[in-house]
Amino acid sequence: MAVPEAVALVDLALKAVTAYDRPDLAPRLRQTKARLTDPVVRVLVVGEFKQGKSQLVNALVNATVCPVDDDIATAVPTLVRFGEETSVTLVREAPGTDGVATEKAERTVVGLDQLAEHVSEAGNPGNRARLTRAEVTLPRKLLQSGLALVDTPGVGGLGSAHGAATMSALPTADAVLLVSDASQEYTAPELEFLQAARKLCPNVACIVTKTDLYPHWRRIVELDERHLRTARIDAELLPVSSALRLHAARTQDLDLIAESGFQALTSFLLRKVVGAADDLDRRSTSQDVLVTCQALEATMRAELMSQNDPEKAGQLARELEAARSRVDGLRQRSARWQTTLTDGVADLIADIEYDLRDRLRAVSRDAEQLLEDADPADIWDQFAEWFHKQVAHAVAQNFVWTTERARWLAEQVAEHFAEAVDVTLPELRVAGGSVAGLVDPLEMPADEKFGIGQKLFVGARGGYGGMLMFGLASTFAGIALLNPLSVGAGLLFGAKTVRDEKKRLKQRRQAESKNAVRRHIDEVTFQVGKDSRDNLRRIQRDLRDHFTTVADELSEALKESVAAAQTALKDDAERQQRVADLEAELERVTGLAERARALAAAVGSGGPT
C-alpha cells in the first residue's frame, strides 16, 4: 500500500503551495500523489512450460486460483491481486494498445470455477478468444500490501512468441520470479532469459520448484547456483515445494511450512519487492517536496533580503533576473539538453533500425540456406516453428537493446539539465518486444500437386518421345518401330522426365518459400521498426515535457523572487511586520523540507510501510 508518511507529506506540500499562491507547483505534487495512491507492485511469474508457475501462485495466496493439471498449460496471463471479495474478470483490450489498461477494454465477470476454461490451452487453445489477461481478486494479507502476482504462459525461451511477449512486459514489472523445477539444471534459454530480465527489471529471483518430487533437488540447486555465478547473474535462488506448502496450510503444520521454503520466498517479496517500492516512493516523494520547498524558499528569501536591506534590492533583482534568463534558456531549442535529446533520439532510431535489420537479415540467410538444402514440403512444419522462434528472438533482443539505450539517453539528458537544477528522471514506459499480433504467421506457399496421375501423364509424355525417337531410328535397320530397344528407351526417357519434373517443382517450392520468408522478414522489419520509432518518439516527448515543466517551475520561482526583490515598502512598520511574517513562513517551509529529508533518510532503515 502507499507509504502513509509520504502521502501526508504531499498533502501538506499541496496545502503550502495553495496558501502561498503558487499554483504552478501543484501539478508535480498531484502527479506524485497519484503515483503514491496506485499501490500495485507487479511481480511476473515466468518460466518454461510445466515448471509449476501456476501452482506456485496458488501456494503463495493459499488458494486454488490458477488452473493446474498435467494436461493444462496457461495460455492467458492471470493477475492475482487484493480484493475484499473473490472475483474473476476477463479483460480484452482493443488492438494497438500493447496490453495497456484503457477505458475501452472489454471486461467480463465470470465465476472462479470457469477461469480454467478461459486461461488454459485446453479451454482457450492459442488464446483464440484474444483475451489480454484475467484479473483475480482475493482477500489475502500478503496481497494487501499491494502485491500483484502475474501467472504468465510458458516462455519457451527468449526466442518464443510467449517469451518475447513476456519480455515486453518486464520494464513495467517491479519483480520477476523465474520458475524452474528440480528435475534438471538451468538450460541455455533460461539463462539467456535471466540475463535479459536483469537488464529490464530491478528485482529478479530464481525459484526452484517441486523439491518434494525430486530427491536430488539439492544437487540441482548447487548446479543452478554455479550457472548463475558463471553467467554473472545476481539473483536470489530459492528452492520451494508448492504442494508441501498447500498441504501444510490445510493441516496448519508449522514445520511443514518451514520445510516448504515459502517463508524465504515471502520474505523476499515483502522485503526486496514491496519494501523496494516503498523506498522508491520515499525517495521520489522526498525530492519532489524538496524541489517545491526550494521554489518557495527562493521567493521568500529574496523578499526577506529586500525588506531587510532595501538598498540591495535592486542588485538582488538584477542577479535573480540573470538567473531567470539562464533558466529560460533551458527551454529554448538551442539549449544543450534539448539538442542532446533531439540528436540522441535520431541516432538511436537509426541504430535500432540497423540492429533490427542486421539481426533479421542473419535469420533470413539461415532460413534460405535451410530451404536450399532440403525440400520445403518435407520440413515445413519444423522449419516454420524454428523460423518463428528465430524472428521472435531477434525482435526480443532488439527490444532489450532499445530499452537499455533509451534509459542511457534519458540519463545523458538529465546530466545536462542537472547543471541548473536537481532533477530525477520520469518513469519511462517502453512497450513492444513482440511480433505477436503485428504480423501474420509464415504460410507455406501453395504447392502444385504431383500425384500418381500427374506422374503417369508426365512419364507417358516423356516415354512416348523417347520410344518414337529410337523406334524411327531402328526402322532404318529394318527393325519394327516397337522393339525392346525403343520400349527400353521410352521407359528411361519417361523416368527421366518424371525426375526432372519433380526437381523443377522442388526448385519452385524452394524459390516460393524463400520469397515467403523475405516477405515475412520485410513485414516484421516494417512493423517492429514502426513500433520502435513510436516508442522512442514517445520517450522523447515524455523527457521533453518533463524537463520543460521543471524549467517552467524554476523560471516561475525566480520570477516571483524578482518581483519580491523589486517591491519597495516605504512604511517601516509594515516592513518589520512583513519581515516577521516571512521569517515565520520560512521556518514552516524549512520544517517541511526537513520532513522531506527525513523521509528519504528512512530508506533502507526499516521505516514504516
pLDDT value for 358: 92
3-state helix, strand, coil in the chain (%, to 5): 65, 10, 25
Q: What is the per-residue pLDDT for 219? A: 93
* Cα–Cα distances in angstroms (integers) from residue 502 to residues 166, 379, 449, 497, 604, in the given order: 44, 17, 10, 9, 73
Condensed to tens digits (0 to 9), the pLDDT of residues 420-474 reads 555 566 666 666 555 555 566 777 766 666 567 666 666 666 665 666 665 656 6
Lowest mean pLDDT among 49-53, 58-62, 336-340: 336-340
Which residues touch 356 (CB under 8 Å, ≥6 apart)?
A: 394, 395, 398, 525, 528, 529, 532
Closest to 77 measured CA to CA, from 51, 102, 47, 44: 44
Selected residue with higher pLDDT from 127 and 408 = 408
Residue 223: per-residue pLDDT? 93
Model confidence at 132: pLDDT above 60: yes
**Residue 47 amino acid letter:** G
* Cell numbers standing for residue 428: 519511462
Instruction: For residue 176, list its beta bridge partners.
Output: 44, 204
Enumerate residues 6+ apart whose C-beta is below 8 A from 468. 486
The predicted pLDDT at position 225 comes to: 92
Query: Which of 131-140, 272-281, 479-488, 540-549 has the least mean pLDDT?
Result: 479-488
Could you report the per-residue pLDDT of 207-251, keeping only the tens digit for each? 999 999 998 999 999 999 999 999 888 888 999 999 999 988 888
Q: What is the pLDDT of residue 433?
A: 54
pLDDT at 334 over 50: no
pLDDT for position 333: 42
pTM: 0.67
Task: Select the more confidently predicted residue: 410 or 70.
Answer: 410
Structure confidence at residue 569 as a pLDDT band (50, 70, 90): very low
Could you read off the pLDDT of 195-214 as tens digits, one per residue?
888 877 778 899 999 999 99
Please tell me the predicted confidence (pLDDT) of residue 560.
63
pLDDT at 222: 93
Confidence tier at 555 by pLDDT (50, 70, 90): low
